[in-house]
């Protein structure tokens, strides 16, 4: 009798796991269309630049704001505008931060805001191809980058959505020429945005 019961339990357990492995994984939730506002606490912008041609140096830009329209069913109707306060640059060293805020680099008194505004968004594979205009240090340039929709979730009953991208700019294109040679001209930006629906 015990052998029969054990056999039934084993068969049921194996059957459960067989069903679990054969069933399709649930698809990611579809983001509801509408307007979203960036959450500055849970959004981050990191930068990466070569120093003395020897190592990678990382820092952050901390003060992020903006909003965007997004419709997963019609990406071409989407658009966003993001602003970052230049004086929120954060290297982890206050003396270096003061230098970065000076006219040698960001010149934050003359150019207090860094902005990125999309001009077109289209579906590309599992993500999106974005074209836009980046304004930095008083210069505006066309840029393009791949954008990943990381996911959609809930935060205390409210819908939230997340996006991620990595792209590289040449700081000398924006008139930031100080220290080229000792400090690289290419700057990689790692951007992760979380937003709540309005």
Could you tell me if residue 25 is inside a domain?
A: no
Instruction: Give the three-state DSSP class for 174.
Output: helix
Domain that holds residue 142: 31-197
User: Which residue, 92, 93, 71, 88, is CA-closest to 80?
Assistant: 71
Could you tell me if residue 10 is inside a domain?
A: no
Tokens representing 163? 């996006």
- CA distance linking residue 147 with residue 68, whole number of Å: 14
Q: What is the pLDDT along the chain (198 residues), one digit of tens a residue?
A: 443 333 433 344 334 334 444 444 444 556 678 899 999 999 999 999 999 999 999 999 999 999 999 888 888 888 999 999 999 999 999 999 999 999 999 999 999 999 999 999 999 998 999 999 999 999 999 999 999 999 999 888 789 999 999 999 999 999 999 999 999 999 999 999 999 986
- CA distance linking residue 68 with residue 80, whole number of Å: 4
Q: Residue 157: what pLDDT?
A: 79
Q: Residue 197: what pLDDT?
A: 86
Could you tell me if residue 3 is inside a domain?
A: no
Q: Residue 30: what pLDDT?
A: 65
Could you tell me if residue 63 is inside a domain?
A: yes
Could you tell me if residue 171 is inside a domain?
A: yes
- CA distance linking residue 161 with residue 18, whole number of Å: 33
Q: Can you give the CATH number for the domain in which 102 is found?
A: 2.40.128.110
DSSP state of 130: E
Contact 131, 118 (CB under 8 A): yes
- H or E segment to which residue 21 belongs: helix 2-22
User: Which residue, 64, 67, 89, 63, is CA-closest to 78?
Assistant: 67
Residue 93 Cα distances to 11, 85, 89, 111, 136, angstroms = 62, 18, 10, 22, 22
- CA distance linking residue 63 with residue 46, whole number of Å: 12
Number of domains in the chain: 1
Q: Residue 76: what pLDDT?
A: 85
The backbone torsions φ and ψ at residue 96, rounded to the nearest 5 degrees and listed phi first, read -65, -40
Q: Residue 72: what pLDDT?
A: 83
């Amino acid at each position: 009798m015990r052998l029969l019961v054990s056999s039934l339990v084993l068969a049921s357990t194996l059957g459960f796991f067989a069903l679990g492995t054969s069933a399709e994984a649930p698809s990611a939730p579809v983001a509801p269309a509408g307007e979203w506002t960036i959450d500055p606490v849970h959004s981050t912008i990191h930068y990466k630049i070569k120093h003395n041609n020897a190592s990678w140096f990382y820092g952050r830009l901390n003060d992020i704001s903006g909003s965007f329209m997004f419709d997963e069913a019609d990406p071409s109707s989407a658009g966003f505008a993001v602003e970052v306060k230049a004086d929120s640059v954060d290297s982890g060293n206050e003396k270096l931060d003061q230098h970065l805020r000076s006219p040698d680099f960001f010149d934050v008194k003359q150019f207090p805001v860094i902005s990125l505004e999309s001009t077109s968004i289209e579906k590309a594979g599992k993500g999106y191809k974005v074209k836009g205009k980046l304004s930095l240090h008083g210069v505006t340039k066309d840029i393009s980058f791949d954008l990943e929709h990381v996911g959609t979730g809930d935060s205390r009953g409210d819908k939230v959505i997340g996006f991620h991208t990595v792209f590289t700019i040449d700081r000398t294109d924006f008139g930031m020429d100080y220290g080229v040679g000792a400090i690289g001209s290419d700057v990689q930006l790692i951007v992760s945005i979380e937003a709540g629906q309005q």
